[in-house]
């Protein structure tokens, strides 16, 4: 496995670069490790509302890094937030529960060994001040958490909603059926699932929607428990907006969970931080289509940046141009030979070139870019090539996304 990763990284040197068009404006590409010292360009992000929105979601990722004991010590779920992000009164943010991915069925599953179990964790929160249901997927903090990333095989897009066993468990769950309604559940099963399944095939019967196998495995292990919570919470809090967010591998997992929920009719916004590339171009295009991401681009063009907050659907991809991790999984020449057009990003690119956290509550510099996911031969006439990319800035974007945020009683 390590050899395949090294080989893929080496071969990727001849693949996929950020490319400037003839007008001189940059179009962001999911660049690989050799395309270093990438200089972002585009529309400067100037909206305080968007900065505060992204920063508040970064806080929820920090909360997902905390453990249950730390939450039990906090009186009435009173969490620390900057004053301009949330009410200072106790109870404005509520922890619903933490979720862990379910165990695999295989008796050979390495995670059945206690000390090799992933620390991957999703926190489900209610932000009563902003009227949001927030699902935050924590960062990959231990070495074992990188196993999904290293399982870099391509897989046909097969979310849990395509699995009849999952739907059987839904129909025998009286709580879910009561909240969802049997008729709606049957519509999900019969119509949405089958239509989505048809979209994964070409006229020759070959799958066109491909995903990273490790990320899909992890998201499917989350989905059943997550689905139950989403059904109950969206029924109870009908005027709350559903937001999924995640950092690093958590961002890729959040992306797949977001798509699965969209495919069965649950509106949600996705915000990822320094996420690797989760899916093929066809599936990235499909996600951008059903998530109305083009509408986000139009807001940027119309200079309506405040409208990027709490959209009905959409994906804001926040990343650091010096973070080498966002260029993985590597796209190789071998992928092209195998008729796989490489892993891609989706969403509206919000990129910063700043390596370190900004202190004194100043806003970091971010740019809003258009996305162009077509791989290209190296064109470096206007790209500064230098060995400057690293994994150092991976955890530092708006906040330290590996930290448990400050809690107080």
- Domain range annotation of the chain: 2-157+200-400
Q: Are 142 and 117 in contact (CB under 8 A)?
A: no
The number of CA neighbours under 13 Å toward the Cβ of 210 is: 20
- What confidence score (pLDDT) does residue 13 get? 34
Q: Classify residue 271 as exposed, middle or buried by CB count within 10 Å of its CB (0-12, 13-18, 19+).
A: buried
Q: Assign domain 2-157+200-400 to its CATH superfamily.
A: Alpha/Beta hydrolase fold, catalytic domain (3.40.50.1820)
Question: Tens digit of pLDDT for each residue in 163-187?
Answer: 888 888 888 888 889 888 888 888 7
Given a cut of 70, the residues of the chain with pLDDT beneath it are: 1-40, 67-91, 103-120, 140-152, 191-205, 330-341, 358-362, 370-391, 405-409
- Confidence (pLDDT) at 82: 44
pLDDT of residue 230: 95
Q: Report the C-alpha gap between 269 and 311 in whole angstroms.
A: 7
Quick: pLDDT tens for 326-342. 888 765 544 444 445 67
pLDDT at residue 92, rounded to an integer: 74
Residue 221 in contact with residue 101, Cβ under 8 Å?
yes
pTM for the whole thing? Answer: 0.80
Residue 16: per-residue pLDDT: 33
Check residue 339 and report its DSSP letter.
Answer: T
Give the tokens for residue 334. Answer: 């071998």
Buried b (16+ CB within 10 A) or exposed e, 31-66: bbbbbbebebbbeebebeebbbbbbbbbbbbbbbbb
The pLDDT value recorded for residue 400 is: 85
Q: What is the pLDDT of residue 382?
A: 33
* pLDDT tens by residue, 69-78: 666 555 445 5
What integer pLDDT is reported at residue 350 of this predicted model? 93
Distance CA 392, CA 386 (A): 16
Can you list the alpha helix ranges (DSSP code H) found in 65-181?
A: 68-72, 147-150, 164-171, 174-180
Closest C-alpha among 199, 213, 197 to residue 286? 199
Q: Is residue 364 within 8 Å of 321, Cβ to Cβ?
A: no
- Residue 341 near residue 280 (C-beta atoms within 8 A): yes
Could you tell me the CA-to-CA distances from 284 to 149, 344, 345 in Å, in that order? 18, 7, 6
């Amino acid at each position: 496995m390590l050899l395949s990763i090294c080989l893929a990284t080496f071969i990727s040197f001849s693949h996929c670069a950020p490319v400037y068009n003839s007008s001189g404006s940059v179009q962001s590409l999911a660049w690989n490790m050799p395309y270093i010292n990438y200089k972002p360009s585009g529309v400067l992000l100037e909206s305080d509302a968007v900065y505060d929105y992204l920063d508040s979601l970064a806080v929820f990722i920090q909360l997902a890094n905390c453990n249950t004991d730390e939450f039990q010590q906090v009186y009435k779920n009173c969490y620390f937030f900057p004053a301009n992000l949330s009410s200072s009164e106790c109870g404005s943010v509520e922890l619903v529960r933490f979720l862990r991915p379910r165990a695999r069925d295989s008796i050979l599953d390495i995670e059945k060994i206690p000390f090799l179990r992933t620390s991957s964790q999703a926190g489900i929160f209610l932000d009563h001040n902003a009227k949001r249901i927030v699902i935050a997927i924590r960062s990959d903090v231990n070495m074992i958490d990188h196993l999904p990333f290293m399982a870099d095989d391509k897989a046909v897009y097969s979310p849990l909603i395509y699995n009849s066993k999952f739907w059987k468990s839904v129909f025998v769950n009286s709580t879910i059926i009561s909240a969802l309604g049997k008729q709606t559940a049957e519509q999900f099963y019969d119509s949405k699932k089958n239509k989505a399944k048809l979209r994964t095939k070409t006229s020759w019967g070959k799958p066109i929607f491909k995903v990273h196998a490790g990320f899909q495995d992890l998201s499917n292990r989350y989905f059943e428990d997550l689905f139950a919570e989403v059904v109950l919470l969206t029924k109870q809090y009908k005027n709350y907006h559903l937001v999924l967010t995640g950092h690093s591998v958590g961002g890729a997992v959040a992306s797949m969970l977001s798509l699965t929920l969209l495919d069965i009719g649950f509106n949600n916004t996705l915000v990822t931080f320094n996420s690797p590339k989760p899916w093929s171009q066809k599936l990235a295009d499909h996600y951008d289509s059903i998530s109305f991401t083009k509408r986000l681009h139009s807001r940027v063009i119309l200079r309506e940046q405040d409208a990027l907050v709490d959209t009905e659907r959409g994906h804001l991809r926040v990343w650091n141009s010096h973070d080498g991790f966002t260029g993985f999984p590597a796209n190789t020449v071998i992928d092209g030979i195998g008729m796989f057009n490489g892993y891609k990003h989706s969403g509206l690119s919000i990129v910063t070139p700043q390596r370190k956290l900004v202190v004194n509550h100043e806003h970091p510099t971010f740019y809003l870019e258009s996305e162009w996911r077509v791989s290209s031969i190296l064109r470096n006439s206007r790209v500064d090539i230098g060995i400057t990319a690293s994994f150092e800035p991976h955890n530092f974007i708006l906040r330290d996304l590996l930290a448990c945020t400050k809690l107080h009683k």
